[in-house]
């Protein structure tokens, strides 16, 4: 038995020995296999180790900056933060009470408590709060931190920031963060305007830093780092000038506040190169807030019947073809095309007048006759094409639309000559106007000046002025400018209100009809139901700027004209821009017609001088001096230092103290405007000629922004006077002409 027991023990020991031996060789084999292949269950061990012990930190890149022409940032990345909530209860700091957290956090993130609670009760270790919790400012971060809410933390980030707010917004557009497909991270993407169309240039690529770490994440000594540098987006430099754009935005804001128009469109262009120095529309938006009601850039995407601004190009065509004689007389009033009757805007015309006067008065009949009898509609169409109205300009902004030139029927051919029946865009008019201001050479408008590598400052794309045709000769352009100047300076001109002190302006008014959406009548009717516009070029002698302004359906008072909101934008924008560009003012020219003396009295600066002494000296020189205010010392004056005046001209002085309204009966509009400008009144003018009625009685105490309404009448019959503004274009159906 003893022997049998020993034998069993030995057998068991042998089996165990064999098992352990086999296990040993199996482990050795497995170890050798792993050592040889480096793979376990299909996974590469080296990769797993790399993943576990290699840490990677993102090095954030910046989206390219958009600059104006002077290097001022218009759109840029700025530091921001993302709010996160830690829900992992194994961590020392996590959200303890979702309901209390929601109560405190929701108002600061502009969210409802229900929204926040829904996020805080998710089965996740960490959550974000969507778009409301991203791109928060440093000040809001501090405000949230002050509440000391457990589990609320912040991730440093960046956001797209537009320092000027509402500023060329439809041109610049906006960019915002959007989540990628797996919602693991968000990226900044251009959504509108140049931010969208140039997104591929602006987009950035983050870099990273890799290093070996221990189990706690600390970098291991004597290990190499792998650095992939970030690639910032390219920078965009525009032709937009921040100063000029600000002039435009500020003036538009005032008109919006006072007149509440449906639309405003404004463009300022370099008259020789086609560079867009400013472009804006209303309604607009702040790209930081994205309060957008209209996603279209109306300066390039809104085509409409332009009205009488189109007469510029019909006039240029007639001059170029040698068929325009400004001194030739024609019968104004009406012109028949088949069974239709084209009428002048005052419904009756002005009798027999010259074609030059027809331009000044914006006579539809004059331009109908030019198109039908002088130029010929086939030739007119050729010039419309030469001026670029048959195709988009190709400006480097997305969203431009083409014109609709209706030129099938005889009536359409003729009405297109004075801006009715065909629809074109504002930017097409500006491009065509460059031929008038640039010696006959038409320039393509553009808004992007260059694209630059932000790391090396190497220019990637450089945009230069591009000639797109020469529709007219240099001589024609000069003659057209001379004629258009009289639209502003002539006593018959519809553009008198667009005169800019110190500069000679050439331009053309427009009052476009708006198609009636109900179809009951072809066009809307009623006071203010038009698109009022003006395209002006200055200085006339050698134009540097083209300014186009259009205001649609302003809420006008009964005594107000459509030119008033337009001039509220055009005049300060043109004057301030010319002064900003250091364009020297011109000496005032002697007024046409008889004068009461000779030119040659140069006004000095009397600011700081006693009023009585100034009045005595100027009266002795034959000038008519008016003093406003109860003070004894001059603080402002019109005319200003260096201006030439004629004998008998009024000089208005302003002092400290109470200012009362003078009796301006019999005064010219120019003299009334001296008072209005000095006291900063808001003038409204009815009629033309000389003052016969004023709303502020003589002796009324004046304060800034008072309305001054003056009624003017000419020294001749009112029936013969011009209304001094384009009215609704006259087109009526009439019996057939025998």
272 close to 443: Cβ distance less than 8 angstroms: yes
Angle separating helix axes 426-437 and 474-489, nearest 10 degrees: 110
CA dihedral 323, 325, 328, 333 (to 10 degrees): 70
Helix (H) or strand (E) holding 357: helix 355-361
Report the distance separating Cα 230 and Cα 336, nearest Å.
71
Give me the count of residues in the chain.
738
Within a 13 Å sphere around the CA of 127, how many CA atoms are in the beta-carbon half? 18
Chain-centre distance for alpha carbon 231: 31
> Quick check: bond before 581 cis, omega within 30?
no
**What is the spatial distance between Cα 627 and Cα 650, in angstroms, rounded to a whole number?**
10
Alpha-carbon distance of 665 to 32, in angstroms, equals 113
Q: Take residue 668 and report the two structure tokens written for it.
A: 């010219």
Q: Residues 6 or more apart from 64 whose CB is under 8 A from it?
A: 201, 202, 203, 204, 232, 233, 234, 235, 236, 454
Helix, strand, coil percent values for the chain (each to nearest 5): 30, 25, 40
Provide the β-strand partners of residue 266. 280, 549
DSSP three-state, residue 127:
strand
Strands 66-67 and 235-238: parallel
Residue with tokens 């921040």: 242
**Residue the block writes with tokens 């065909």:** 422
Please report how the helices 311-320 and 426-437 are oriented relative to each other, as an axis angle in degrees rounded to 10. Answer: 40
Judge contact between 267 and 368, C-beta under 8 A: no
511 neighbors 726 (Cβ within 8 angstroms): yes
Could you give the CA distance from residue 345 to residue 355 in angstroms, rounded to a whole number? 16
List helix spans (H) across 513-659. 563-580, 611-620
Q: How far apart are CA 189 and CA 174, in angstroms?
A: 9
Residues 6+ apart with CB under 8 A from 437: 271, 272, 477, 481, 537, 543, 546
Active site residue 308: yes
Alpha-helical runs (H) found in 548-622? 563-580, 611-620
Let me know if 550 is exposed, middle or buried by CB neighbors in 10 A (0-12, 13-18, 19+).
buried
How far, in Å, CA of 247 to CA of 581, rounded?
13
- Looking at 308, 363, 422, 567, which residue is catalytic? 308
Catalytic center residues: 308
């Amino acid at each position: 038995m003893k022997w049998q027991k020993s034998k069993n023990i030995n057998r068991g020991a042998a089996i165990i020995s064999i098992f352990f031996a086999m296990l040993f060789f199996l482990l050795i084999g497995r170890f050798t296999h792993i050592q040889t292949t480096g793979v376990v269950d299909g996974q590469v061990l080296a990769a797993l180790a790399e993943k576990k012990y290699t840490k990677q930190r993102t090095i954030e890149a910046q989206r390219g900056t958009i600059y104006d022409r002077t290097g001022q940032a218009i759109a840029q990345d700025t530091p921001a933060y993302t709010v996160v909530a830690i829900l992992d209860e194994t961590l020392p700091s996590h959200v303890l009470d979702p309901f209390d957290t929601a109560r405190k956090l929701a108002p600061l993130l502009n969210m409802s408590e229900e929204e926040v609670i829904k996020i805080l009760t998710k089965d996740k270790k960490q959550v974000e709060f969507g778009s409301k919790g991203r791109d928060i400012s440093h000040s809001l971060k501090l405000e949230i931190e002050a509440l000391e809410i457990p589990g609320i933390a912040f991730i440093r980030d960046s956001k797209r920031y537009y320092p000027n707010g509402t500023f060329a917004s439809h041109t610049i557009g906006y960019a915002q963060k959007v989540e990628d497909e797996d919602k693991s991270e968000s990226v900044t993407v251009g959504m509108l305007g140049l931010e969208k169309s140039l997104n591929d240039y602006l987009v950035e690529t983050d870099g990273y830093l890799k290093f070996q770490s221990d189990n706690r994440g600390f970098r291991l000594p004597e290990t190499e780092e792998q650095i992939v540098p970030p690639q910032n987006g390219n920078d965009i430099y525009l032709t937009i000038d921040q100063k000029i754009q600000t002039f435009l935005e500020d003036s538009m804001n005032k008109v919006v506040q006072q007149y509440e128009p449906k639309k405003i469109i404004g463009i300022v262009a370099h008259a020789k190169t086609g560079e867009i120095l400013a472009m804006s529309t209303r309604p607009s938006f702040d790209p930081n807030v994205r309060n957008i009601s209209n996603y279209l850039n109306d300066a390039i995407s809104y085509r409409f019947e332009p009205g009488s601004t189109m007469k510029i190009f019909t006039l240029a065509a007639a001059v170029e073809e040698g068929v325009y004689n400004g001194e030739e007389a024609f019968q104004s009033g009406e012109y028949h095309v088949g069974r239709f009757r084209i009428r002048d805007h005052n419904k009756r015309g002005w009798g027999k007048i010259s074609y030059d006067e027809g331009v000044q008065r914006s006579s539809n009949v004059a331009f109908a006759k030019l198109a039908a009898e002088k130029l010929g509609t086939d030739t007119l169409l050729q010039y419309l094409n030469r001026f670029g109205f048959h195709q988009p300009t190709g400006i480097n902004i997305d969203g431009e639309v083409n014109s609709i030139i209706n030129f099938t029927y005889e009536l359409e051919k003729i009405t297109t000559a004075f801006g009715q029946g065909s629809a074109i865009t504002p930017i097409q008019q500006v491009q065509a106007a460059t031929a008038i201001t640039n010696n006959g050479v038409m320039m393509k408008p553009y808004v992007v000046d260059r694209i630059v590598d932000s790391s090396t400052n190497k220019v990637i794309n450089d945009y230069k002025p591009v000639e797109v045709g020469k529709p007219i000769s240099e001589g024609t352009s000069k003659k057209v400018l001379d004629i258009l100047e009289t639209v502003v300076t002539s006593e018959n001109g519809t553009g008198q209100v667009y005169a800019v002190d110190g500069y000679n302006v050439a331009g053309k008014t427009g009052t476009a009809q708006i198609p009636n959406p109900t179809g009951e009548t072809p066009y809307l009717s009623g006071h203010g139901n038009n698109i009022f516009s003006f395209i002006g070029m200055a200085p006339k002698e050698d134009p540097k700027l083209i300014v186009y302004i259009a205001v649609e359906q302003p809420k006008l008072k009964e005594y107000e004209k459509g030119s008033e909101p337009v001039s509220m934008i055009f005049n300060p924008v043109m004057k301030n821009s010319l002064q900003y560009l250091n364009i020297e003012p011109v000496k005032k020219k002697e007024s046409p017609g008889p004068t009461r003396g000779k030119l040659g009295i140069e006004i000095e600066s009397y600011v700081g001088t006693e009023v009585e002494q100034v009045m005595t000296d100027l009266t002795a020189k034959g000038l008519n001096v008016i003093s406003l205010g109860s003070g004894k010392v001059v603080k402002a004056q019109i005319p200003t230092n260096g201006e030439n005046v004629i004998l008998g001209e009024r000089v208005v002085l302003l002092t400290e103290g109470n200012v009362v309204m003078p009796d301006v009966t019999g005064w010219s509009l120019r003299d009334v405007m001296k008072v209005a400008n000095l006291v900063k009144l808001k003038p409204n003018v009815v009629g033309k000629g000389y003052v016969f009625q004023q709303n502020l009685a003589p002796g009324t105490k004046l304060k800034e922004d008072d309305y001054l309404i003056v009624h003017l009448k000419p020294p001749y019959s009112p029936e013969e006077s011009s209304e001094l503004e384009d009215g609704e274009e006259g087109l009526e159906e009439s019996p057939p002409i025998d």
